[in-house]
Structure 1
């Protein structure tokens, strides 16, 4: 008689635990009548983990927002890969995101997912290996891991729900090291404003995990990262294409939010070229 493999237990705290909220948001979206991202792999991952996801208390509107932000980053990354068949993708603070599987890059792409060792260990239990794909178990702010990346290819650097958890010193140093290591590329990420950092007590997922937000910035701060860097697109998180497909109550709340500049700009998404 054989016994089923036990579900992997999750022992993540503070900012590491917040990655489970985005995973759950994508899973909930995948079960919607008209999913935005359709990440069925996320739903399967939630089913396989030994964790009480109900404590996240994410409603349909919250999960749709998670899916829209993920889709925007997917779209920017896919656009980059469509014009760079021989490229590198570096996903910083990858968590349990399935982006490499959703985009299914071609054989000329080298893809690196970077996160803390305990997160990468969990990924390795859950997700299959694939050609051209490497996981790096490290804090993204440790300079040592960057030496593993090719230095002669155009590179797409993606960060979702990460930079606000780093200090400004660590975040800027990490992005500058990456840009200095490669000849050219793009950045795709979300960022919080300084007002959002001051208002972090209203961020339910952050408070529940006992995490702390540190780095708030704006377009001027992003441009100051490097004289090579140019902002291609700069979108408020409440103005991403597809918001009209959200549940009615959530759509109304988003529209009201978009009318208040300080609130509208609390979270923005950037696509930059260097």
Structure 2
């Protein structure tokens, strides 16, 4: 019998969506990310709480896209911590992502997982790791960045966070972070305005009652946020070699989108900046 209950807001509940997507990918015949720890965590949550992950009804396109973007962000982080073995990694809106385990940073790296208190409590329960510094906060609140070291190069990652923050709060948060941290990089999965707007009509997001609407079209736009950002790269994931592992017909549709840069930007893209 389930012994615990999950008390999460609709926005917080999206962490279960992405966790389950990575879990499903890990059990696929040709996994893209291959994260068996995600599957183990999802199984424990279902056993402990009775949460029905099947109700999320994740489509193959969402599973493949979630796994691919996670892997690409992992790669950016790995490159950074290889060059800066004394770095700080700041995972914004970390949810129950097992990124720390996947990236396996060297001992000198300080890893900070940032999310709501309710979420960091879940991480303590299901992903205990003494290497992770948990920062329990609403990222739109001011001054929480004071919990971060200010004398080390930093890698900031935001996976799936942008469209769920109200107004210009994402830009404000990035300005505060780059003012606090001396130098580093930012990597996020970017949404165009249309893609962010369309998210609220995705069946799973709609069922959770989330009104997602934040995004930007031009990858150079963050360079005008007064955060000291310079674009390093824009990766259009419709053109990633890993698309070959997508199930059909998702693979064929993704390759069709890849022919157009404008269409590819409506899908998943990884944006990489330096500050």
> TM-score, with normalisation over the residues of structure 2?
0.92
CA RMSD of aligned residues (A): 1.8
The partner residue of 2:29 within 20, 29, 33 is 33
Matched, 1:225 2:225: yes
Please say if residues 69 and 240 of structure 1, whose CA atoms lie closer than 8 Å, have aligned partners that are also in contact. no
Please say if residues 30 and 43 of structure 1, whose CA atoms lie closer than 8 Å, have aligned partners that are also in contact. yes
Report the Cα offset of residue 220 of structure 1.
Answer: 3.0
Q: Distance in 2 between matches of 1:270 and 1:125?
A: 32
Listed as ranges, the matches of 1:116-155 within 5 Å are 116-131=116-131, 133-155=132-154
Q: Distance in 1 between matches of 2:4 and 2:26?
A: 22
Per the alignment, in what secondary structure is the counterpart of residue 113 of structure 2? strand
Deviations 1:32-76 (A, max 9, x none): 122221111110111011211001112444312211010000000
Higher deviation after alignment, 220-229 or 178-187 = 220-229
Report the Cα offset of residue 14 of structure 1.
Answer: 1.9
Structure 1 partner of 2:58: 58
Structure 2 partner of 1:175: 174
Q: Distance in 2 between matches of 1:180 and 1:232?
A: 19
Per the alignment, in what secondary structure is the counterpart of residue 188 of structure 1? strand
Per the alignment, in what secondary structure is the counterpart of residue 249 of structure 2? helix
Per the alignment, in what secondary structure is the counterpart of residue 239 of structure 2? coil
Listed as ranges, the matches of 1:67-78 within 5 Å are 67-78=67-78
The structure-2 alpha-carbon separation of the partners of 1:31 and 1:20, relative to structure 1 and needing over 3 Å to count, comes to same
Please say if residues 230 and 274 of structure 2, whose CA atoms lie closer than 8 Å, have aligned partners that are also in contact. yes
Q: Distance in 2 between matches of 1:260 and 1:205?
A: 27
Matched, 1:11 2:10: no
Deviations 1:79-113 (A, max 9, x none): 00000000100000000101011111111011110
Report the Cα offset of residue 177 of structure 1.
Answer: 0.6
Report the Cα offset of residue 255 of structure 1.
Answer: 2.0
Q: Distance in 1 between matches of 2:200 and 2:117?
A: 28
Q: How many residues in Structure 1 have an aligned counterpart in Structure 2?
A: 269
Report the Cα offset of residue 262 of structure 1.
Answer: 4.4
Matched, 1:208 2:204: no
Q: Distance in 2 between matches of 1:159 and 1:183?
A: 19
- Structure 1: where are the runs of 5+ without partners? none
Structure 1 partner of 2:273: 272
Q: Distance in 1 between matches of 2:102 and 2:198?
A: 33
Please say if residues 197 and 213 of structure 2, whose CA atoms lie closer than 8 Å, have aligned partners that are also in contact. no
Per the alignment, in what secondary structure is the counterpart of residue 199 of structure 1? helix
